[in-house]
Structure 1
Amino acid sequence: MGNQAAYNVYKQNSVYTASPGELTLMLYNGCLKFIHQGIKGIEEHNIVQRNENIKKAQAIILEFITTLDMKYEISKQMLPLYEYMHRRLIEANIKNDKDILVEIEGLVTEFRDTWKEVIRINRQKQNIGDLV
């Protein structure tokens, strides 16, 4: 098995064995990756690269929107933020606007970093519970 094939198997297994929290973190990281590639597409005047990557980032944000559980107050607070990010990604793609992508990159980074902290706190609580 070549290095690339082995890496692909590893990536696939990491998704299959990830907790829901880890999967969410992977989605945030993927969204950031696609935003970076969208920025690169704008900088390099590569319309296809820009369009494809911004659309992938949009799809991730749309997934976050559709999977929110609206029985929780936090979901009701997150929905307008996700909708704003989705709308701005569409606008960035239409207008070929790097500044909008940089803005959304900042928001997604904040969400991702907050999510990382939630995972860290939950792991600490689990470890303490395991000791008791």
Structure 2
Amino acid sequence: MNALNQYQSVNRQTSIVDADAHKLIQLLLDGALERISMAKAQIQLKNIEGKNRLINKAVEIIGGLREFLDKEKGGELAERLDALYEYMEYRLFQANLRNDLEALDEVARLLKEVKGGWDGIREEVLEQALV
């Protein structure tokens, strides 16, 4: 098991080093979704410390996503994403406080919607990078 964890760590680090800004956002979205899924399992196992750590990490990741927003260039879309990310952080705090699986599911659904849109523009981003 330890070898698997080491491999995953190296794989993540390599992905981050090789990532462009668009790919980095994809990795952050994946990371937040993974932490939320793991937090749900910790709630079911009644592991409060593990749940706290994972939800707090998801909140940190979403905070990082908020920091990436360029409100000057992104205009209204960036403002709406900022508000959505703020709402997600709020719901994660509630989920942590109340061991609320529904709140975690809601945030995961919202993140998946954002990720779907972000993944959908990947080709366009790559084409613009070549220009």
TM-score (norm 2): 0.86
**Residues 105, 10 of structure 1: alpha-carbon distance in 2 compared, 3 angstrom cutoff:** closer
Distance 1:7 1:39, change over 3 A: closer
Residue equivalent to 2:114? 111
Query: 38-47 vs 64-73, which deviates more?
Result: 64-73
Q: Which has the larger radius of gyration?
A: 1
In the other structure, the counterpart of 1:35 is 36
Superposition RMSD in Å: 2.1
Q: Percent identity?
A: 29
Equivalent runs, 1:84-99 vs 2, <5 Å: 84-99=87-102
1:4-15 alignment to 2 at 5 Å? 4=4, 5=6, 7-15=8-16
Deviation at 1:14, TM superposition (A): 1.8
Q: Which residue of 2 aligns with 1:56?
A: 57
Query: Which stretches in structure 1 are left out of the alignment for 5+ residues?
Result: none
Structure 2 unmatched ranges of 5 or more: none
Partner Cα separation in structure 1 for residue 103 and residue 36 of structure 2: 10
* Count of aligned residue pairs for this structure pair: 127
Give 4+ residue runs of structure 1 displaced > 3 Å after superposition: 2-10
> Which whole-Å CA distance do the structure 1 matches of 2:32 and 2:119 have between them?
15
TM-score when scaled to structure 1? 0.86
What is the alpha-carbon distance in structure 1 between the residues aligned to residue 3 and residue 29 of structure 2? 26
